Amino acid sequence: MRVLFATSEAYPLVKTGGLADVSYALPAALRQQGIDVRLLLPGYPEVFKQLSLIEVHENISLFSNLEPVRVLAGFMPGNLYPVYVIDCPRLYAREGGPYQDAAGNEWPDNALRFAALSKVASLFASHQFIFKPDILHCNDWQTGLAPAYLAFSHSRTRAKVVISVHNLAYQGVFGPEVAEPFGIPRSDMFRVIKLLGLPDHCFNLEGVEYHGKMSFLKAGLHYADWISTVSPTYARDIQTASFGYGLQGLLSARCHQLTGILNGIDEKAWDPATDRYLVKNYTVDTLASKAENTKALRSKLGLEQTPFKPLLGMITRLTYQKGLDLLVPIIPDIIHEGAQLVLLGSGDKELENRLKQYAKLLPGQISVTLGYNEELSHQIIASADLFLMPSLFEPCGLTQMYSMRYGTIPLVRRTGGLADTVTDATPGQVAKKLATGFVFEEENASELLRCVQRALATFREKGSWRTLQLNGMTRDFSWFHSAKEYVGLYQQLLNK
């Protein structure tokens, strides 16, 4: 089976979030199951710096107002699998991030940049190039137009298309301004649709139209043969008004072609037995050594050395999604309960300031580090006793799975992938030796506090705590099972 995995980011070449990790690890896991999977990426400068590439297709016209592009090929570092790269300097050769400039502003021509990625993906999928995939696997809004292009292609053979939603909150909605990078003043949406190489009639409720604008993600969800998302619960959540961001109608209409498949984790990078960032490695059998990491972290961050106090950790983007509005008001209560808090994150400036103020107010008990810090993130995961994820919504979430692998007990809100990966320590689940963490339901601060109090009570019963740790540490979060499910899905589509 041949699969083209089209994505706008992939670790270690270019990463802004979880999509990059999936785009690296899932193809590798599919490869191990005998699938000929290849990646398609835009030719950002970081990609050219890290890969040796040769030209495989030249002079490919995508849109009437854009010079022809080239498709180059190379291999993922470590010779993992082939990678195709779109060479179009006008769209991709610029310093900054894949979606934003260095100051954090969206690139003004993002619609064109990712329409180009989608168009090339559709050319592969309509078998115009040497590599003729059976399946095109699209990811998020950046590849959302590919299923639409494919639906209107005149090719005699074509791949089946799956689109994976990694976070429905980002949809790629664009208005008349899309025309400007083509050198054409703001035009009506029909002109925009034409410029992007789509037929007029797809600018319709039953197509790419979204409240008078166009939505790349909606296009993908409408025209793909199948939709997947990154956890079974999130697959249900996004069919409701609370989590559907206006697309719940379309998603529930397609519920029979919508599957949730849990992400795996990179078990090599996140292994307490070999993690190079830890002061002391440990396993299920040497779990007592975990405390040495806690001690080292406390002294590194200036926290009081009080081994009997539980250390609560959190590593997060500081955004609305992550439930900080629930946590911030109860921080003094958590400290009053006799716990310490260590937080690493960056994002919303107001939240950053409030957290810093708490850290100043309660020195020795709270540590707040702002910014992105890979090393510290590993050390917190290894050192904390309890790991907090009170997210309002969470498509899958990774850090709760990392925590369990490190014997750090997650405390999560029952939503999306958190509901699917953490088993609450209810008496029944504890008795069955299935409990791995603490789960609360309602979106409010007092529910969160009650759950923290429940966790702290269990922390004081050393035997019960250890059982929770061992249950989590022995759970399998590898990509193997997810990859198997994707292969099953591809097979099912090809058999149709």
Summarize as ranges the residues that interact with ligand ADP (CB under 6 A).
17-18, 315-317, 344-346, 372-374, 377, 396-399
3-class DSSP string for 378-397: HHHHHHCCEEEECCCCCCCC
Q: Could you tell me how many helices (H) and strands (E) the chain has, helices first? A: 20, 18
Burial of 110 (0-12, 13-18, 19+ CB in 10 A): buried
Nearer to ligand ADP, 260 or 345 (CB): 345
Contact 342, 367 (CB under 8 A): yes
Nearest approach, Cβ of 377 to ligand ADP (angstroms)?
Answer: 4
Nearest approach, Cβ of 325 to ligand ADP (angstroms)?
Answer: 16
Omega before 12 within 30 of 0, i.e. cis: yes
Q: Give residues with Cβ within 8 angstroms of 301, minimum separation 6.
A: 342, 367, 369
Three-class DSSP category at 162: strand
Nearest approach, Cβ of 394 to ligand ADP (angstroms)?
Answer: 7
Burial of 225 (0-12, 13-18, 19+ CB in 10 A): middle
Nearer to ligand ADP, 231 or 469 (CB): 231
Nearer to ligand ADP, 91 or 315 (CB): 315
Nearest approach, Cβ of 421 to ligand ADP (angstroms)?
Answer: 11
Distance CA 326, CA 389 (A): 10
Residue owning tokens 């926290």: 303
Contact 149, 135 (CB under 8 A): no
Nearest approach, Cβ of 265 to ligand ADP (angstroms)?
Answer: 9
Nearest approach, Cβ of 391 to ligand ADP (angstroms)?
Answer: 8
Nearer to ligand ADP, 239 or 316 (CB): 316
Pairing of β 173-174 and β 135-139: unpaired
Nearest approach, Cβ of 190 to ligand ADP (angstroms)?
Answer: 36
Nearer to ligand ADP, 17 or 332 (CB): 17
Distance CA 293, CA 383 (A): 5
Nearer to ligand ADP, 259 or 316 (CB): 316
Nearer to ligand ADP, 259 or 400 (CB): 400
**Residue number, nearest CB to ligand ADP:** 18
Nearest approach, Cβ of 398 to ligand ADP (angstroms)?
Answer: 4
Distance CA 486, CA 73 (A): 25
Outline where 230-345 has alpha helix (H). 232-237, 248-253, 290-301, 324-327, 331-336
Calculate helix-pair angle for 445-459, 462-473, nearest 10 degrees. Answer: 110
Kindly tell me the sign of the dihedral angle through the C-alpha atoms of 420, 424, 429, 435: positive
What are the structure tokens assigned to 119, written together?
Answer: 């168009």
Nearest approach, Cβ of 30 to ligand ADP (angstroms)?
Answer: 20
Distance CA 184, CA 191 (A): 10
Nearest approach, Cβ of 29 to ligand ADP (angstroms)?
Answer: 17
Nearer to ligand ADP, 374 or 476 (CB): 374
Strand partners, 370: 345
- DSSP secondary-structure letter at 176? G
Nearer to ligand ADP, 294 or 316 (CB): 316
Pairing of β 438-440 and β 160-165: unpaired
What are the structure tokens assigned to 312, written together?
Answer: 């609560």
What are the structure tokens assigned to 436, written together?
Answer: 């791995």
Nearer to ligand ADP, 248 or 346 (CB): 346
Nearest approach, Cβ of 228 to ligand ADP (angstroms)?
Answer: 16
Number of Cβ within 10 Å of residue 350's Cβ equals 9
Nearer to ligand ADP, 277 or 372 (CB): 372
